[in-house]
């Protein structure tokens, strides 16, 4: 399946070994670097080395975990590229989850003012979210994606076989982004995502849904590549979700991205209900589904101040005001919605009450 989205060439394939050489020929680089983390280096990189053009490729390995998507890792990548002869015609292949594609995309975009890169996501989260759309960056001072840029990969190559190897938690983390894509699109998309059997995990059905989810994101990016307005829809659930994710690392009880976003979506659906009349029956149904699927992300009322502090750094905020991407109904976007501390507090209270 080839998704030609403006500025984003996405290929969903059955064999990365067969697909990648075509794109290496198009880039025509004699100096190739492969970036992976300690997990994907062991599990995913070795098969790629059977490709003739990659047998002499340089390998850069960083520690696994989102806490390593930082300035130290970025500097190590820059240093390795510099010390091993990378030039403007070099190619960086990022193979891994969202941490690697975010980090590698930013390293490639900034080294010598930009070299080509290809993303090969190995997680569901990376496939439907991080690897597509050109958003790159690192965490800084415990803030999610605080430093970064927008610069699409030459290609995003998705190998379906990687999705079959994911554990339950990492699978569900990526599925949260598919839920978000459905909720900002239509009742039909939500129904399709809602009815998918998460226990059975039929891969053929999943691949079709992944393609649809990537296309939803891609069509939004086509209309607004630099997030002036419409692309903000993709931040639904993320204003509170990102803040909670950062908070979880702060208290040394880290949660996966999608789990934090599930919490954020519940809070922000409540805000949508209060501010725009998001239907109560749909609110109850979606909250029940997210509760059953992701469980409770624990925090106390005494933690609200820390969560608010992280929310202050959300990139949608303007003039010091909290800015949300909400929905008045499934598929009915309400972007640039300002909410005050009292309203957000009520949403956090709602989450804790409904989860108890």
What parts of the chain have a pLDDT lower than 70?
1-7
Query: Could you tell me where the beta strands, DSSP code E, fall in 14-56?
Result: 32-37
Write b or e for each residue in 131-165: b if 16 or more Cβ atoms lie within 10 A of its Cβ, otherwise e.
bbbbbbbbbbeebbbeebebbbbbbbbbbbebbee
pLDDT at position 4: 63
Q: Which fold has domain 175-199+228-355?
A: Dehydroquinate synthase-like, alpha domain (1.20.1090)
Round the CA-based radius of gyration of the chain to a whole number and report it: 20
Q: What are the φ and ψ backbone dihedral angles of 90, each rounded to 5 degrees?
A: -75, 165
Residue 15: both structure tokens together: 């064999």
Q: In the block, which residue shows the tokens 């076989």? A: 161
Q: What is the pLDDT of residue 7?
A: 65
Q: What is the pTM of this model?
A: 0.91
CA 305 vs CA 97, 104, 251: distances in Å: 31, 33, 13
Helix (H, G, I), strand (E, B), or coil: what is residue 78?
Answer: helix
Distance of CA 307 to the CA centre of its chain: 20
Here the tokens at position 278 are 């998001």
Q: Would you state the pLDDT for residue 249?
A: 92
- Average pLDDT over the chain, rounded to whole? 93
Helix, strand, coil tally for the chain in percent (to 5): 55, 20, 25
CATH 3.40.50.1970 domain residues, the chain: 2-163
- According to the model, what pLDDT value does residue 169 have? 96
Given the DSSP bridges, would you call strands 116-121 and 58-62 parallel, antiparallel or unpaired? unpaired
CATH number of 2-163: 3.40.50.1970
| Bridge partners for 120 per DSSP | 95
Residues in the chain: 356
**H runs (alpha helix) in 295-340:** 304-311
DSSP state, residue 354: H
Per-residue pLDDT at 11: 87
Strand extents, DSSP E, 237-331: 322-329
Q: Where in the chain is the domain with CATH 1.20.1090.10?
A: 175-199+228-355
């Amino acid at each position: 399946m080839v998704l030609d989205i403006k500025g984003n060439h996405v290929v969903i394939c059955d064999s990365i070994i067969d697909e990648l050489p075509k794109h290496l020929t198009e880039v025509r680089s004699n100096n190739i670097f492969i970036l992976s983390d300690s997990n994907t280096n062991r599990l995913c990189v070795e098969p790629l080395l059977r490709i003739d053009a990659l047998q002499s490729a340089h390998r850069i390995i960083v520690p696994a975990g989102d806490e390593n998507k930082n300035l130290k890792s970025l500097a190590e990548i820059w240093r390795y590229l510099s010390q091993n002869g990378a030039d403007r015609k070099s190619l960086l292949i990022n193979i891994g989850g969202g941490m690697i594609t975010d980090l590698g995309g930013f390293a490639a975009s900034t080294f010598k003012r930009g070299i080509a890169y290809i993303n090969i996501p190995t997680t569901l989260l990376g496939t439907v979210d991080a690897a597509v759309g050109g958003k790159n960056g690192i965490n800084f001072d415990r803030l999610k994606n605080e430093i970064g840029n927008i610069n699409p990969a030459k290609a995003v190559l998705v190998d379906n076989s990687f999705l079959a190897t994911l554990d339950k938690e990492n699978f569900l983390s990526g599925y949260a982004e598919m839920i978000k894509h459905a909720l900002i699109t239509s009742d039909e998309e939500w129904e399709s995502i809602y009815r998918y059997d998460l226990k059975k995990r039929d891969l053929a059905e999943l691949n079709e849904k992944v393609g649809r989810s990537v296309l939803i994101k891609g069509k939004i990016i086509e209309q607004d590549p630099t997030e002036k307005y419409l692309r903000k829809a993709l931040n639904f659930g993320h204003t509170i979700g990102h803040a909670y994710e950062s908070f979880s690392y702060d208290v040394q009880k880290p949660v996966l991205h999608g789990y934090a976003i599930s919490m954020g979506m519940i809070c922000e659906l409540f805000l949508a209900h209060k501010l725009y009349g998001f239907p109560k029956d749909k609110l109850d149904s979606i909250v029940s589904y997210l509760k059953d699927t992701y469980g409770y992300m624990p925090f106390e009322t005494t933690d609200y101040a820390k969560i608010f502090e992280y929310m202050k750094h959300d990139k949608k905020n303007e003039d010091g005001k909290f800015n949300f991407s909400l929905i008045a109904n499934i598929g009915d976007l309400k972007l640039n919605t300002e909410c005050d501390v009292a309203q957000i507090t009520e949403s956090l209270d709602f989450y804790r009450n409904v989860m108890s």
